[in-house]
Amino acid sequence: MVPLKRRKVVSSGAGSAGSDDVTSPTRFPQVVLFLLERKMGASRRAFLSQLGGKNGFQVEELCSERVTHVICENNSGEEVRRWLESQVGSPAHLLDVSWFTESMRAGRPVEILDRHKLQEQQINEVEVEAFSTPSYACQRRTTLDNHNAVLTDALSLLAENAELSDEDGRGVAFRRAAAVLKSLPEPVTGLTQLRGLPCLGGHSLRVIKDVLENGASSEVEATKQSERFNALKVLTGIFGVGVKTAERWIRERIVGLQQLQDSEQTLNRAQQAGLRHYEDLNQPVTRAEADAVAAVVEEAVASVLPGARVTLIGGFRRGKLTGHDVDFLITHPEEGREAGLMPKVVSWLDSQGFLLYQKTSRNSYLEAEDGPGRPSSNMDRFERCFSVFKLPEEARRGAEEARRGAEETEPCSSSPAAVSQVKGEGLKPWRAVRVDLVVSPISQFAFALLGWTGSKLFERELRRWAGHEKAMSLSSHALYDNRQSRYLRASSEEEIFAHLGLEFIPPSERNA
């Protein structure tokens, strides 16, 4: 719960708001009002305070023990009461702004009815056990067994909408709230169970309350119907297209793929590939398809550098059965042997007809320059290749059959993209798959493995824990102790967790 901040004093007068020339004598000494600015806004609060003063009400600028009625707008009762109890104790009444406006119209304090009171969950706390969980996602074990998918899906959609609107702060807030719910051992049935849990702000709680009471969130449903949101989803779904480019196209009235194809927009190589293979790249990649790609990558690496190791990372390492791409981390047990490996691997893959698109970047990480002094970033500096693979249907099917034979699972249906029709070509015997290749020196391998395993929020929380709680700087390259002014070396993920003072959490429980 992010605490509500006490409003700063903006008036030199102690006590009621408004100046003497607009404030009538107090007519109701037993009623002392405080208008909460949060979500009401400063200008509206000032206007309502002045209105109250004109009608003979005492309106306090700051909340104190004298206050008898707290007036709020768009706040939940639980979050306001929790804040007030931490500040001045619990006042007599927490009221919606509707009580205030009705009192202004009546010229006196009207009777307080149930509809005027801020809504607080009325569940018997003996019957419903409250949950508890640590503040940081990197302290929590989060499996793929999500008991609150309806709630987390709603919050995740709002997070996505915030991120597409360049409001990363709101996006992270929703992601953290969803992560808390994902970690809970049982389904949430009422808001009382969430009392005291971290990262659940007022906005998230209102969404949760809406879903629990009505089966869906009106805000989420409105977002799903938003033309802008849907246009941004479609356009940023093109490989190589970011939010800023998509927004520029929308301003030019390009909101769909056909309009983009018909326009005279100049697309770079990545965007051309993304548009050409849009259907494939927006279909989930199955674990069988990831295994098929892995077999190809392992053959390529073994052909150009015997002894090198290839590790499947990302969501598939965490146990996910589908993903939007396939990521591999490559290293060699001998430091330095990995240098120059990527161009050779890419050349082999290209010669075998596996690459529809590729862009390779060199390793630009220098420990002395880019370590502790470098601003925290989600991006690392490894040698890497962003590519679009041409995965033959035969290879995908073979890997799927092998996987079924190795373990009893539900049959994976053929990916729609793998058998999609191409105009004039009938059934396509391959599908396009996003594949990222990353090469790491063995000395940085443990950090790269941790950083590239995810989830994204889990990694963000690890870095936040390192900085805020341990005065350390963590990246996918290294861990630096700012107090001791030295690097902390590690040859395994377990050692990194130990350096950070955290209990080791295996990949399968990092699905925050």
User: 353: domain CATH number?
Assistant: 3.30.460.10
CB 171 within 8 A of CB 162: yes
Instruction: Tell me, yes or no, whether 242 lies in a domain.
Output: yes
Instruction: Tell me, yes or no, whether 325 lies in a domain.
Output: yes
CB 213 within 8 A of CB 16: no
Tokens standing for 113? 């009815």
Phi-psi region of 467 (alpha: psi -120 to 50; beta: other; left: phi over 0): alpha
Among residues 270, 259, 290, 318, the alpha carbon closest in space to that of 450 is found at 318
Radius of gyration of the chain (CA): 28
Q: What is the pLDDT of residue 135?
A: 93
**Cα angle value 289/292/297 (rounded, 5°):** 125
Which residue, 210, 242, 276, sits at the end of a domain? 276
Q: Which of 425-429, 480-484, 491-495 has the lowest mean pLDDT?
A: 425-429
Instruction: Tell me, yes or no, whether 132 lies in a domain.
Output: no
Instruction: Tell me, yes or no, whether 507 lies in a domain.
Output: no
CB 488 within 8 A of CB 481: yes
Whether residue 288 is predicted with pLDDT greater than 80 in this model: the reply is: yes
Among residues 295, 282, 356, 354, the alpha carbon closest in space to that of 323 is found at 282
pLDDT tens for residues 452-463? 999 999 999 999
**For residue 163, what are the domain limits?**
137-224
Residue keyed to tokens 């996602």: 137
Phi-psi region of 471 (alpha: psi -120 to 50; beta: other; left: phi over 0): left
pLDDT tens for residues 343-367? 999 999 999 999 999 999 988 787 6
Tokens standing for 251? 């301003």
CB 184 within 8 A of CB 147: yes
Q: Is the C-alpha dihedral spanning 230, 416, 175, 182 positive or negative?
A: positive
Instruction: Tell me, yes or no, whether 17 lies in a domain.
Output: no
Distance CA 489, CA 265 (A): 48
Q: Is the C-alpha dihedral spanning 198, 204, 206, 207 positive or negative?
A: negative
Whether residue 84 is predicted with pLDDT greater than 90 in this model: the reply is: no
290 with 380, same domain? yes
* Helix residue ranges per DSSP H, 252-376: 257-262, 269-276, 278-281, 287-304, 341-351, 367-370
CB 109 within 8 A of CB 152: no
Whether residue 479 is predicted with pLDDT greater than 50 in this model: the reply is: yes
Which residue, 87, 116, 145, sits at the end of a domain? 116
Q: How far is CA 21 from the centre of its chain?
A: 51
342 with 491, same domain? yes
CB 460 within 8 A of CB 506: no
Distance CA 494, CA 441 (A): 18
Q: What is the pLDDT of residue 236?
A: 97
Active centre residues (catalytic): 325, 327, 436
470 with 335, same domain? yes
Q: What is the pLDDT of residue 36?
A: 87
Instruction: Tell me, yes or no, whether 200 lies in a domain.
Output: yes
DSSP string of 81-131, one letter each residue: HHHHHHHT---SEEEEHHHHHHHHHHTSPPP--GGGBPP-----TTTSPPP
401 with 492, same domain? yes
Q: How many domains does the chain have?
A: 4
Among residues 116, 90, 123, 100, the alpha carbon closest in space to that of 50 is found at 100
- Give the residue with greater pLDDT, 362 vs 425: 362
CB 208 within 8 A of CB 158: no
Q: What is the pLDDT of residue 7?
A: 41
DSSP string of 430-441, one letter each residue: EEEEEEEEEE--
User: 218: domain CATH number?
Assistant: 1.10.150.110
Whether residue 373 is predicted with pLDDT greater than 80 in this model: the reply is: no
392 with 362, same domain? yes
Whether residue 42 is predicted with pLDDT greater than 70 in this model: the reply is: yes
Whether residue 369 is predicted with pLDDT greater than 70 in this model: the reply is: no
Q: What is the pLDDT of residue 114?
A: 81
User: Cis peptide before 455, with omega less than 30 degrees from 0?
Assistant: yes
Whether residue 150 is predicted with pLDDT greater than 50 in this model: the reply is: yes
Q: Which of 135-139, 251-255, 335-339, 417-421 has the lowest mean pLDDT?
A: 417-421
Q: What is the pLDDT of residue 211?
A: 96
**Cα angle value 183/479/442 (rounded, 5°):** 100
Phi, psi dihedrals of residue 120, rounded to the nearest 5°: -130, 140
Instruction: Tell me, yes or no, whether 215 lies in a domain.
Output: yes
Average pLDDT rounded to a whole number, residues 380-384? 89
Distance CA 195, CA 81 (A): 11
C-alpha atoms less than 13 angstroms from C-alpha of 23 in its C-beta half-sphere? 18
Instruction: Tell me, yes or no, whether 19 lies in a domain.
Output: no
168 with 312, same domain? no
**Cα angle value 194/197/199 (rounded, 5°):** 115
CB 345 within 8 A of CB 300: yes
User: 237: domain CATH number?
Assistant: 1.10.150.20
Report the chain's mean pLDDT, rounded to a whole number: 86
Tokens standing for 315? 């969501």
Distance CA 146, CA 176 (A): 15
237 with 103, same domain? no
38 with 167, same domain? no
109 with 256, same domain? no
Q: What percent of the chain has pLDDT over 90?
A: 66
Q: What percent of the chain has pLDDT over 70?
A: 83
215 with 236, same domain? no
Which residue, 116, 147, 171, sits at the end of a domain? 116
pLDDT band for position 77 (cuts 50, 70, 90): confident
User: 44: domain CATH number?
Assistant: 3.40.50.10190
323 with 446, same domain? yes
183 with 254, same domain? no
